[in-house]
Amino acid sequence: MTRGTAHPWMANSTPETKTAMLEAIGAPSIEALFHQIPADHRLSRPLNLPPTLSAEVALKRHLVDLLKKNASAEDNLSFLGAGTYQHHVPAVCEEVARRAEWLMSVFGSPMSDHGRNQAWFEFCSLLGELIKTDCVGLPVYSWGAAIGHAIRMASRINGRREALVVKAMSPERLGVVKTNCEPPQMASHIAVTEVGYDPATGRLDMDDYRAKLSDAVAAVYFEVPSFLGVIETEGAEIARLAHEAGAEVIVGVDPSSLGILKAPPDYGADIVVGTLQPLGVPMNAGGGVGGFIATRDEERYAREYPTLMISITETIAGEYGFGLSLFHQTSYGMRDEGKDWTGNSVYMWAVVAAAYMGLLGPDGFRDLGHAIITRAHAAARRLDAIEGVRVVFPSGFFKEFVVNFDATGKTVAEINGALRARGIFGGKDLSAAFPELGESALYAVTEIHTEGDIARLAAVLEEVIR
Amino acid sequence: MTGLRRYHAAVWDEPVIMEMGAPGRRGILFPPFEPGLAGASEAGDLIPAGMAREDRPALPELSEPEVLRHFLHLSQETLGMAGISLFGTCTMKYNAPVSEQAAWRPQLAAIHPEQDEETLQGLLEILHEFDLILREVSGMDQFVFQAGGGAHAAYTHCAVTRAYFAAKGELERRDEIITTIQTHPCNAATAAAAGFKVITLMLEEDGYPSVEALKAAVSERTAALMINNPDDMGIYNPHIKQWVEIVHEAGGLCFYDHANFNGVMGKIRARELGFDACMYMLHKTFGAPKGGGGPAVGAYGCSDELAPFLPRPVVVKAGDRYRLDQDRPQSCGKIREYFGNVPQVVKAYAWARAMGAEGIDEASDISVLANNYMEKRLLAIRGITKSHPDNDVWRTEMTRYSFETLKEETGVGVLDVQNRMIDFGIDAFWLSHEPWIVPEPFTPEAGEMYGKEDLDTWIDVLAEISREAYTDPHTVKTAPHNQAIHQLKGDALEDPARWAMTWRAYRRKRAAAAPAAATISAG
């Protein structure tokens, strides 16, 4: 920026305007306005930052040049999932997300930001139908954050300080849960105990579960489908046993499965959590994640939510209105006495997810589920047919499956490196987090993958494992 | 009043989406199976017994244009920054479309976080370069972007604090965090959620707690101080360096919540004041959009001494390549999955590059100048006073005002004014965080985006509402009159029998209430 040239983003950067405002307040200079900061607190030199790019033409060129150094899952064929998924993002979702009216909104009032508040309520309402719960909070940072808050809700409800969680869980999510449950040195620590999985099926190890369940357990957490892709079939029994022990049942779901898979309350879930990202949000290098917390509409649960809640109500003229409910129990209302904490989260993604669920409707979710499960199984069968390649849990999965390469004599890292050189992003390497699975990778297949994509993956795999 | 522009919000009387559509309509289709897949087993056979969904989710059935038009209507019923939004503590900034465009390019939007580092070089370069910018701005030694908002960055500090003292074997003993009543509530809340006891210092006459109060609070149990400065009243604590020294002498850490950075950008650096860590809200101060509540980023930076305890991964540069360092044995672990809302980081990087060192410094100049310009005019309006009027300093980028006088003299309170100002196309102002130290508070923040004429319009609207309060309070108390909807009836929102967070709950409760209502009307 040339000195003296007004910056395009700052209307008051002309000398005339500054002078006019200074004269109006009777201050000798702008510097005088900073007099309350002691001199020895002040930075004694100008900031030393990279050259200014105040011309949009230069800024755009710079950003594009940098981003071009990335290789995207659009330019390559990707089978990465494990918590962030490559689903089709409907064009309507992008259009809705980029509307400046709500993209640039802050908080406003229920009347002046009525439309955005309605979209938030619609997000909760649409998701509520998909997961069959009457109470849905506004979104939280991520699936992992949702589990963490849900365990803490359960602990506040029954006063217990242990959570049983499935071992077959995303290391990223589990890391967040452990942070949220606090280290053992803290007086309010909640112990996180992992329950193993059956090596034959990938489902929860019921013997291990029974052995670990006790009347000290605040909550039991499992996922459908699990991190390893498997659809848990013992949900009702897991929930029955948990309830018998006085624990709350928390179930994590991928909503893209719920057109064809049972909703968690139908097998006993008390608190449902999960991810928003599959609902029309781009992967964004992991910046697409978002989470939700939902329960029955009972005060026992409602009064423990840390999130903001939006309720439908009416105006003095009888119109629909949408206002915050149970605000006082949040950290805004009660500071350190509030329920955990809340703040900015991923609310724009809630609007996107609402548009996505509105587009799909009941038949869209059914078709989406069919497309995913059919394509995923076709891919698994094809890979399993390759000599040296084995699908570890060959049935009962949804969109992800574990592929083992032990018999090839190659590591997943080697195989993925060779695939990458040929324009394919192989599945997530599980060998570090799940050593018992050997050289295995988690492959994700969604509605975007075609028969040709699967054939290409198989052909290239055959070549690189040789 | 003459001179004010006419305004009326869009009114669509838009139904709730759950009431729209008709059976059989489709908003999106998925392609038929290709020949090789068509012969595959029926999807139903692939679902384990007992796990297939038997009911049809009660979602609406809409065509694609119906969905698009519905959400366009709702977006139009959102005022946001299209009017003049001087929402204090949130630092309303221009969110340039050039940044938004960049973030939606497939080279960012269609990137999977677990891709090999070699395919993420552009992104990691941006993250590293922006880290360097924030290091220069703050004096800190390392930033991470994992926290999904400002409150989450405060929580990150609590997690880092735990890991730091655990490594020293002092965590059981150091179980207290000190904050002040004017520090954002998220600091007290995240400290408590992280397992610490919270000590909150109250303000004294100058507008901040005394050094003596701090001295009385610190002890060998002090883990950290978490504080804003300047606070939301635009008052800078001139003893802050001494505060940091006192906490350090007791062995505690000092965290600077830089929510109110706009007034001091380029003027002070957290590390030079002695702080061990700080955070910036990229969705506020650094020009990324707020989206009504995220996706957001709390950029958390700290000293070399604390860096080993940061959440992992950390972006590092090795030679001319960039990588994600996951091998950090002393790390506090994960705060959130992956490494942050990176589209927001890219937008913040774009903002910092577009502004440059001079522009950032000028933005704080303009913000402080504009706030003091507003203060002069606002205090001339009947019914308005400001907090701590005896502390006769030029405030920084915000001033805390009060409508206490207006309320006493007219019965019109700050919530009524809030409802009325939106009738002029002016977004509702921020009041104050809890608890209200000043009665009937409000806190505008001019920022650097809006021009002087916009600020004058905003002030003129408040002057008009004050005039109305003294002459026609009914108009103010029944506002809004020019909005998408009328004033909300709030009584159902806290009533378990009537609150409804979903349409399912609403239908059930409405049906349950219907017979009773019928009885009343019949009676």
Classify residue B397: in a domain, yes or no.
no
In tens, the pLDDT along A275-331 reads: 999 999 999 999 999 999 999 999 999 999 999 999 999 999 999 999 999 999 999
Report chain B residues whose CB lies below 8 A from the CB of A342. 151
Q: How do A248-253 and A219-224 pair as beta strands?
A: parallel
Q: How confident is the model at residue B39 (pLDDT cuts 50, 70, 90)?
A: low
Give the position of tokens 């710079």: A62
Q: How far is the C-alpha of A449 from the C-alpha of B161, rounded, in Å?
A: 45
* Min Cα separation A215/chain B (Å): 23
Tell me if B400 sits within 8 A of B233, measured CB to CB.
yes
Q: How far apart are CA B256 and CA B483, in angstroms?
A: 39
**Residue that is last in its domain, among B339, B355, B371:** B355
Distance CA(A136)–CA(A124), nearest Å, equals: 5
Q: Identify the closest residue of chain B to A413 by CA–CA distance.
A: B116
Peptide bond into A255 cis (omega under 30): no
Please say whether the dihedral angle defined by the alpha carbons of residues A72, A74, A77 and A83, taken in this order, is positive or negative: positive
Tell me whether residues B21 and A361 touch, CB distance under 8 A.
yes
| pLDDT grade for B40, boundaries at 50, 70 and 90 | low
- B172 part of a folded domain: yes
Q: Does B68 reach chain A within 8 Å, measured CB to CB?
A: yes
Chain A residue numbers with beta carbons less than 8 Å from the beta carbon of B115 are 71, 73, 78, 80, 285, 425
Nearest to B77 by CA among A61, A106, A49, A118: A118
pLDDT of residue A1: 40
Beta carbons of B427 and A106 less than 8 angstroms apart: yes
Residues in B closer than 8 angstroms to A272, CB to CB, are: none
Contact state of A378 with B483 under an 8 Å Cβ cutoff: no
In order of start, what are the domains of chain A with their CATH numbers? 77-85+361-464 (3.90.1150.10), 91-356 (3.40.640.10)
Last residue of a domain, one of B355, B389, B408: B355
> Domain check: are B343 and B199 in the same one?
yes
The CATH number that applies at residue B233 is: 3.40.640.10
B405: distance to nearest CA of chain A, Å?
23
ipTM over 0.95? The verdict is yes
Q: Are B485 and A186 inside 8 Å of each other by CB?
A: no
B417 domain-assigned: no
For residue B122, is it within any domain?
yes
Contacts of A447 in chain B (CB under 8 A): 30
pLDDT of residue B227: 98
Instruction: Report the distance separating Cα A23 and Cα A31, nearest Å.
Output: 14
Q: What six digits make up the tokens of A46? A: 């100008």
Mean pLDDT (whole number) for B432-448: 94
A-contacting residues of B 220-279, CB under 8 Å?
235-236, 238, 240-241, 264, 266-269, 272-273
Test the A interface: residue of B16, B20, B53 with most A CBs within 10 Å: B53
Nearest-neighbour CA in chain B from A217: distance (Å): 19
Nearest residue in chain A measured CA to CA from B72? A96
Span A316-360, pLDDT tens digits:
999 999 999 999 999 999 999 999 999 999 999 999 999 999 999
Task: Chain B: give the shortest CA distance to residue A320, in Å.
Answer: 8
Q: What are phi and psi of A164, to 5 degrees?
A: -95, 125
Question: pLDDT tens digits, residue range A53-85?
Answer: 999 999 999 999 999 999 999 999 999 999 999
- Does any CB of chain A come closer than 8 Å to the CB of residue B454? yes
Per the domain annotation, does B36 fall within a domain?
A: no
Which chain A residues are closer than 8 Å to B333 by Cβ?
175, 178-179
Q: Is the pLDDT of residue B523 over 60?
A: no
Exposure of A46 by Cβ count < 10 A (0-12 exposed, 13-18 middle, 19+ buried)?
A: exposed
Summarised one tens digit per residue, pLDDT across range A125-149 is 999 999 999 999 999 999 999 999 9
How many domains does the structure of chain B reveal?
2
Query: How many angstroms separate the first and last alpha carbons of chain A?
Result: 58
**Total beta-carbon pairs less than 8 A apart between chain A and chain B:** 740
| The last residue of a domain, from among B290, B322, B355 | B355
Residue B210 located in a structural domain: yes
Q: How far is B276 from chain A (nearest CA, A)?
A: 16
In a domain, B12, yes or no: no
Pairing of strands A219-224, B197-201: unpaired
Give the range of the structural domain holding residue B291, as residue numbers without chain letter: 98-355
